[in-house]
Structure 1
Amino acid sequence: MKKRILSGMRPTGKLHLGHYLGVLASYVKLQDEYDCYFMVADMHALTTKWNESGSIREYRREMVLDWLGAGLDPQKSAIFCQSDVPEHAYLFTLLAMITPVSWVERNPTVKEMIRDMDLKDNVNLGLLSYPVLMASDIMVYRAEAVPVGKDQVPHLEFARELVRTFNHTYHVDLFPEPQPILNEFQRLPGLDGRRMSKSLGNDIVVSDPPEVTAKRMMTAYTDPLKARKDDPGHPEAGCVIYQYHKLFQPDTAPEARIQCEQGCLGCVAHKRSVAAMVSERLVGFQERRTAFAADPRSVDRILAEGHERASVVAAETVRMVREAMGI
């Protein structure tokens, strides 16, 4: 039998190029090798969007369309909403009873979210207990693996620790320790050179039409010392456009580097060229996405089918947990 994996994304906005080339590309490959459960983490979205919850439902639909456009197949993978499977919250409550407060206070996931989103004095209990709900998401499907980037491996250790604690406390071998499936794709820089992020406003949205992508690309950070076309450039010194060029057309990147260094390639022309590369890569994605979006009920139907499949496994897990705990 195929090993089971669980992964999810928070519906807090439209997905960007980094999501598409990293997370979604990984999802598409994994669905042929594993028993996949891909979750729209709308309950997790409330940890930081509790006062903007009206947008979550629409973002949820847009995100699923992005998944389908990227190539996720609902015949191969269960695609569902976290909030539609109440066993997530039920198991979270039980796991909270065996989780020391010190564990969540020192957890790097929480610390990073507080720092990156500048929350500081506005941390709710849901955010503080975010790692416990994340562990519940994994454990309710008894997932054996979780796709993560290298920088996220320590975050998974929290769930592994809870698995060990539960199995030891109740003398069972109910939950497997989820192993990381490393995503080798490096984080794509944003248009300003920092990591690409919706919250930083430096992203390229994959569902945007080519003309919008081209306009956004014009704001990208390039060599500040190259004020004119014939100025010698330094593309290896943090030029975002050159980094994109190496990713999308590695065969032609060396020639572009030489032309830039010799003052034969201007930044504006290079930005237009790379914008065209990005749009070309997204043609298939956008065609598939548009086809699913043409049927207004397609997303609801796919989520309902995924919910049915996910609920069977989740209900069986909760039944076994109750039996182990004696409640």
Structure 2
Amino acid sequence: MTDSTPSTSRPRILSGMRPTGKLHLGNYMGALYNWVKLQHEYECYFFIADYHALTTDYANTANLRENIREVMLDFLAAGLDPAVSTLFIQSDVKAHFELNSLFSMITPLSWLERVPTYKDQQEQLKEKDLATYGFLGYPLLQSADILLYKPRYVPVGADQVAHVELTREVARRFNQFFPGDFYLSPGAAPWEMGAIQEKARKLADDKTKSTFSAHELYEAAHQTRKITGFGRHEVLPEPDVFLTPSPKLPGTDGRKMSKSYRNTILLSDPETEVRAKLKTMVTDPARIRREDRGNPDVCPVFDLHRVFSTEQTQQNARVGCTTAGIGCIECKNWLADAVVEHLAPIQERRRYYESNFVEVEEILAQGAVRAATRANQTMQEVRDAVGLR
């Protein structure tokens, strides 16, 4: 397999997913489906966030490697193309933890405590001991994940916007403490930088000084207020939110599809299992008998029809339900046909990569090299700005 570095002429995007094992339809429609489309328009970095898995499941890592394997298979099965996207495992790029450590030095504790999902997850995962630095600091690790690659956009659903906003605040704070190199603005006169350097010599009380750190130039420029013909590079540019469609798919019990509820339909489920699961799915609770008229707008089955079925099938299901022309079993069969058809090419690709897993390992190895190259460039700039070696 040959290495094909993705084009850098397109705006960069980065996103990741925790390795929770085989992915389900909710994971697919909430993220993967969008990523597959975005990879042809942007320079994309997609990673498996195995460090993040430890923030809540540090006490049991027995299945971590297997879960990483399953997620990567589903990445490729869904259509992520390593020829145009960089696919990698977070822990294969050690710079993630280095940048996270530096961020922990400058980030106020209150910023982490106010993240909406912090208390929500503590409430939802009461059976786990989450009174750890890692759990409190996982949004900061997310910030490091993002800023390490200097993406223009971060594709997220509405419920993740707060995390990107924290990332922007962290970048802003870092750039304030550790300004990048100075440059003359277009059209500025050369004497302006000379004036800044002269001020820096006076501040250093060294008339012969000829080399200056970014900190020294920043302080000199700040005090020389009349000089306007300069700028400074931001070491860590602030990314923008890229809101993507992320429908909350209902599971077979009507609640949000989630492994914790045991109500999922996996991308890798065989046809017989897909049909069996959908056959038991809850419907309009008011439609008790076959002759009762139903309301598709309160039926979880119809929510899935909206995502996977054609407009004609949706129309037939709506009319049949509201007139009692069809029963729920027939409606579910139509849905099963649509879901099975949608999953067919995904499962075909998965079978290929399962049988050729050495190719998957090569993809991950090459992705790690690409990601590390980009990350190390950022870290060199970060170290220079901070004053580290």
Matched, 1:248 2:256: no
Q: 2:362 aligns with which of 301, 307, 313?
A: 301
Counterpart residue number, 2:133: 125
Q: Post-superposition shift, 1:300? A: 1.2
Q: 1:90 aligns with which of 69, 92, 98?
A: 98
Q: Post-superposition shift, 1:246? A: 2.5
- What is the CA–CA distance in structure 1 between the aligned matches of 2:90 and 2:384, rounded to whole Å? 24
Report if aligned partners of 1:146, 1:179 keep a CA contact under 8 Å in 2: yes
Q: 1:319 aligns with which of 361, 380, 387?
A: 380
Counterpart residue number, 2:192: none
- What is the CA–CA distance in structure 2 between the aligned matches of 1:118 and 1:207, rounded to whole Å? 30
Counterpart residue number, 2:263: 202
Q: Which has the larger radius of gyration?
A: 2
- What is the CA–CA distance in structure 2 between the aligned matches of 1:219 and 1:116, rounded to whole Å? 26
The one-letter code of the counterpart of 1:176 is P
> 5+ unaligned residues in a row in structure 1: which ranges?
none
Report if aligned partners of 2:279, 2:332 keep a CA contact under 8 Å in 1: yes
Identity %: 45
Matched, 1:14 2:22: yes
Secondary structure of the equivalent of 1:80? Answer: strand
- What is the CA–CA distance in structure 1 between the aligned matches of 2:44 and 2:71, rounded to whole Å? 17
Deviates more, 1:268-277 or 1:80-89: 268-277
- Equivalences for residues 1-327 of structure 1 within 5 A: 1-118=9-126, 122-172=130-180, 173-236=234-297, 238-249=298-309, 250-327=311-388
- What is the CA–CA distance in structure 1 between the aligned matches of 2:386 and 2:267, rounded to whole Å? 46
The one-letter code of the counterpart of 1:5 is I
Q: Post-superposition shift, 1:120? A: 7.3
What TM-score do you get using the length of structure 2 for normalisation?
0.81
Q: Deviations over 1:138-174 (max 9, x none)?
A: 1111222111012221221000000000011112211
Q: Post-superposition shift, 1:217? A: 1.0
> 5+ unaligned residues in a row in structure 2: which ranges?
1-8, 181-233
The one-letter code of the counterpart of 2:175 is N
RMSD over aligned Cα, in angstroms? 1.5
Runs of 4+ in 1 over 4 A off after TM superposition: none
The one-letter code of the counterpart of 1:301 is E
- What is the CA–CA distance in structure 2 between the aligned matches of 1:186 and 1:246, rounded to whole Å? 10
What TM-score do you get using the length of structure 1 for normalisation?
0.95
- What is the CA–CA distance in structure 1 between the aligned matches of 2:329 and 2:171, rounded to whole Å? 53
Change (3 A) 1:299 1:115: farther
Q: Deviations over 1:210-250 (max 9, x none)?
A: 111111112211122322222222222x2111121222222
